[in-house]
């Protein structure tokens, strides 16, 4: 009689590699690993070999970069989704797609279990579990295994377990430190080791996409990003796919030290966590689209969108991608950005991104109305009547109600 099967979300890192051996040992089931290429670059090198060495029955590697960019990254970009105004949600945007593909793989291979390497104190466990349960709500409920949440091992104990079962860990850095790294096209998150001390400056060996400021070029570099309905479509006048544009921009901006984020973050589970991110393209694109929106949206549209941006960011961060509210906001964003097309010129220099030019055929900026030169067509005489009506409610209240009458 064949064993039951489990689809394991596999990155090739410490937690997921240990999980292969642990699931087989604890549950006596076969493990099929699923690795999704979301733009992981070198992190995918050797993934199949590591999974097989750890005891996987089979390994699946699916390229989902285009789907990730078009259906997740660009939705987050258009929504202006920056968690706590800082984090472009690189990891969080990838999780719903991963949950979706895990469910698809489970159905394809007849698996009754899905597993992931999330710990019991992180956000990803919520994103994976809620996504998997939501997507399988109309079928036989898939059972979820979360080894790192169940085994209760510390990082040091994980290393000891890995040695016991004969596994090699991915080590990086001059001192062979073991960082927990989650990487995709939109950015990478680095945790562990010295980074857990909020007073310590992150060591350079933790970074791989961005140069330290002292090593960046001494000359600035200007890039021009073209947008169509809020979606970036060109870089320096060259039309590119979403994947190509982000890849090129990551390299260009990272060379100038752009994209490093050191954030003391409020996790969903109620604790604060020091998070280190590298998101060069994301920082540049968020800066650019914000400038274009300022030119193409009315003040009222901007205010409503700004409020929805925070709600959207919280939904993504909290693992609520597969909700009607998120879809509702997407529909509003798509409509409100239908005239957000044009170009934005960004100057990159020593870690900074500065908008130095914005243009659009749908610009609400009217030079003849804004100028104070002889070309001014604004009717200054209309201001007196406008102010009289505008201040009417406050003047009326001031006459009828005073602080001394308040009880």
* Radius of gyration of the chain measured on its C-alpha atoms: 25
Phi and psi angles of residue 47, each rounded to the nearest 5 degrees, phi first: -60, -45
* Residue 136 token pair: 């399988």
Q: Are 362 and 369 in contact (CB under 8 A)?
A: no
Q: Is 95 a catalytic residue?
A: yes
The CATH code belonging to domain 187-359 is 3.90.1260.10
Average pLDDT over residues 361-365: 97
Task: Give 361-364's long-range contacts (Cβ < 8 A, gap of 24+).
Answer: 362/296, 363/295, 363/296, 364/295, 364/296, 364/297, 364/298
Report the phi/psi class of residue 169: left, alpha or beta, with left for phi > 0 and alpha for psi in -120 to 50. Answer: beta
User: Active site residue: 50, 95, 127, 183, which one?
Assistant: 95
Spell 278-317 as b/e; 16+ CB within 10 A means b: bbbbbbbbbbbbbbbbebbbeeebbeebeebbbebbebbb
| Catalytic position from the list 11, 16, 19, 180 | 180
Q: Which of 30, 124, 129, 182 is catalytic?
A: 124
Residue 12 has pLDDT above 90, yes or no: no
- Which residues fall within 8 angstroms of residue 208, CB to CB, at 6 or more apart? 188, 278
The CATH number given to 5-178 is 3.40.50.620
Which candidate, 209, 303, 221, places its Cα nearest to that of 247? 209
Q: Which of 11, 15, 90, 130 is catalytic?
A: 15
Residue 175 has pLDDT above 60, yes or no: no
Catalytic residue status for 170: no
Q: Which residues contact 385 (CB under 8 A, 6 or more apart)?
A: none
Mean pLDDT (the chain) is 91
Q: Please, which residues have CB within 8 angstroms of residue 95's CB and are 6 or more apart in sequence? A: 124, 127, 128, 131, 319, 321
User: So what's the pLDDT on residue 174?
Assistant: 45
Work out the number of other CB atoms within 10 angstroms of the CB of residue 82: 20
What's the confidence (pLDDT) of residue 328? Answer: 98
Burial of 31 (0-12, 13-18, 19+ CB in 10 A): buried
Task: Classify strands 231-235 and 221-228 as parallel, antiparallel or unpaired.
Answer: antiparallel
Query: For residue 366, is pLDDT > 70?
Result: yes
**Residue 222 annotated in active site:** no
| 399 burial level (CB within 10 Å; 0-12, 13-18, 19+) | exposed
Kind plus residue range of the DSSP H or E element containing 63: strand 58-63
User: For a pLDDT cut of 70, what percent of the chain falls above it?
Assistant: 94
Q: Residue 42 — pLDDT band, cuts 50, 70, 90?
A: low
Measured in whole angstroms, the distance separating CA 87 from the mean position of its chain's CA atoms is 7
What's the pTM value of the predicted model, to 2 decimals?
0.91
Q: What architecture (CATH level 2) is domain 367-402?
A: Up-down Bundle (1.20)
Give the Cα separation of 243 and 186 in Å (integer): 10
131, 124, 11, 69: CA torsion to nearest 10: 60
Instruction: Enter the DSSP assignment of 198.
Output: T
Pairing label, strands 238-239, 231-235: antiparallel
Write out the E strands in 196-271.
221-228, 231-235, 238-239, 260-266
The residue written with tokens 């600035």 in the block is 220
Q: What is the DSSP letter of 282?
A: H
Give the tens place of pLDDT for each residue, 72-106: 999 999 999 999 999 999 999 999 999 999 999 99
pLDDT at 43 over 70: no
Inter-axis angle of helices 155-164 and 14-27, nearest 10: 60
Question: Residue 230: pLDDT band by 50, 70, 90 thresholds?
Answer: very high
Mean pLDDT of 278-284: 98
Is 291 a residue of the active site?
Answer: no
* Alpha-helix runs per DSSP H in 110-183: 124-135, 147-151, 155-164
Whole-number pLDDT of residue 132: 96
Give pLDDT, residue 376.
Answer: 87
Q: Which residue has the tokens 């205010």?
A: 303
Phi, psi of 264 (to 5 degrees): -90, 100
Q: Specify whether the CB–CB gap between 34 and 101 falls below 8 A.
A: yes
Q: Domain spans of the chain?
A: 5-178, 187-359, 367-402
Distance from C-alpha of 188 to C-alpha of 105, rounded to nearest angstrom: 25
Here the tokens at position 1 are 């009689």
CA dist., res. 34 & res. 97, Å (int) = 13
Q: Which pLDDT band, with edges at 50, 70 and 90, does 407 fall under?
A: low
pLDDT exceeds 60 at position 170: no
């Amino acid at each position: 009689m064949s064993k039951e099967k489990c689809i394991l979300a596999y990155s090739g890192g410490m937690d997921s590699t240990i999980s292969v051996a642990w699931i087989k040992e604890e549950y006596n089931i076969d493990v099929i690993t699923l690795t999704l290429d979301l733009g992981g670059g070198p992190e995918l090198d050797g993934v199949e070999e590591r999974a097989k060495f750890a005891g996987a029955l089979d390994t699946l590697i699916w390229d989902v970069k285009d789907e990730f960019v078009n259906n997740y990254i660009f939705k987050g970009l258009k929504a202006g989704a920056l968690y706590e105004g800082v984090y472009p949600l690189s990891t969080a945007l990838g999780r719903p797609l991963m949950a979706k593909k895990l469910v698809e793989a489970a159905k394809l291979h007849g698996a009754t279990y899905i597993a992931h390497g999330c710990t019991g104190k992180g956000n990803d466990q919520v994103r994976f579990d809620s996504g998997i349960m939501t997507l399988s709500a109309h079928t036989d409920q898939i059972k979820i295994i979360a080894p790192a949440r169940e085994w209760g091992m510390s990082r040091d104990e994980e290393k000891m377990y890995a040695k016991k079962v004969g596994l090699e860990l991915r080590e990086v850095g001059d001192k062979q430190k073991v960082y927990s790294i989650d990487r995709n096209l939109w950015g990478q998150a680095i945790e562990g080791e010295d980074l857990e001390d909020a007073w310590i400056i992150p060591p350079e060996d933790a970074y791989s996409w961005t140069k330290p400021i002292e090593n960046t070029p001494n000359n600035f570099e200007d890039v021009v990003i073209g947008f169509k309905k809020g979606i970036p479509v060109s870089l320096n006048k060259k039309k590119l796919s979403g994947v190509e544009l982000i890849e090129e921009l990551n390299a260009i901006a990272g060379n100038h030290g752009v994209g490093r984020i050191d954030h003391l973050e409020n996790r969903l589970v109620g604790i604060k966590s020091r998070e280190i991110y590298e998101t060069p393209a994301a920082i540049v694109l968020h800066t650019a689209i914000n400038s274009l929106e300022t030119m193409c949206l009315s003040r009222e549209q901007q205010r409503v969108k700004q409020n929805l941006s925070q709600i959207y960011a919280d939904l993504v961060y909290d693992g609520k991608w597969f909700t009607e509210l998120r879809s509702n906001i997407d529909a509003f964003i798509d409509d409100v950005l239908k005239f957000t097309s044009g170009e934005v010129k960004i100057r990159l220099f020593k870690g900074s991104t500065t908008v130095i030019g914005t243009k659009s055929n749908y610009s609400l900026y009217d030079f003849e109305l804004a100028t104070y030169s002889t070309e001014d067509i604004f009717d200054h005489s209309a201001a007196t009547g406008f102010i009289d009506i505008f201040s009417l409610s406050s003047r009326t209240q001031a006459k009828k109600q005073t602080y001394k009458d308040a009880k």
